[in-house]
Amino acid sequence: MSVSNIGLTSQILVAILSVVLIKKYKSPFYLFLCIFFIVAVFTELMGAYNVDRYRAGKSTFNHLPLAAFLQFNSLALMYMKLIRKNRWIKIILGLSVLFSVSCIVVYFHYDMFSYLLVFGCLNTSLFSFLYLRELLLSDKILNYKKHFPFWVSVGLLVFYLPTIPFFINMPFMKGRSLFFLLELLIVFMNLFIMYGLLCSKKEVKY
């Protein structure tokens, strides 16, 4: 099995697991996370299907700005449900609006898509840091290993932070020889999240 197939398999597994365990983590936070997983799987499947068609000139990747809009805004809404401080929520909301406007622009100027991904990765990394900082200063840090949003945030940082320089350089890459690094990061991200899904305690509200 290739690295790309392992990455896709891990995406599908974490999406299925999240749906199966939805009663355990019944909350608005978890709903937005499930939306993120489902859109991520759909995007990966569409990407795998369209690669060969794109090379043959039979398909484009115009769906990707919409997928990015859904994925990154789902994560933004998720952190708006997790973070308590109003000033951080306002920052998340403002950056999400800017990102949404950027998605519209990129839809008509697809050559800028890699920079849209950089923007989304920066946003998600910042939101994760803000949440982890808030967690560090709260009583919940005493039991962080059983706190599911902690594992989600760590998993997201493992993927999105290292991919920022990758997406910055993506327009200058020749071929897809380095894309296996993305797949490896996807696997590591999903391992953290799956661990959290299986080992965290049930919480009614976040």
- Closest to 150 measured CA to CA, from 137, 166, 132, 138: 132
CA-to-CA distance for 160 and 79, rounded, in angstroms? 15
How do residues 60-74 score in pLDDT, each as one tens digit?
556 789 999 999 999
pLDDT score recorded for residue 68: 93
User: Coil, strand or helix: which one is 205?
Assistant: coil
Question: Could you tell me which residues come within 8 angstroms of residue 80 by beta carbon, excluding any fewer than 6 positions away?
Answer: 89, 92, 93
Structure token digits, residue 68: 């990015």
Q: Hey, what domains does the chain have and what are their CATH numbers?
A: 3-199 (1.20.1070)
Residues of the chain with pLDDT under 70: 1-4, 47-62, 175-177, 202-206
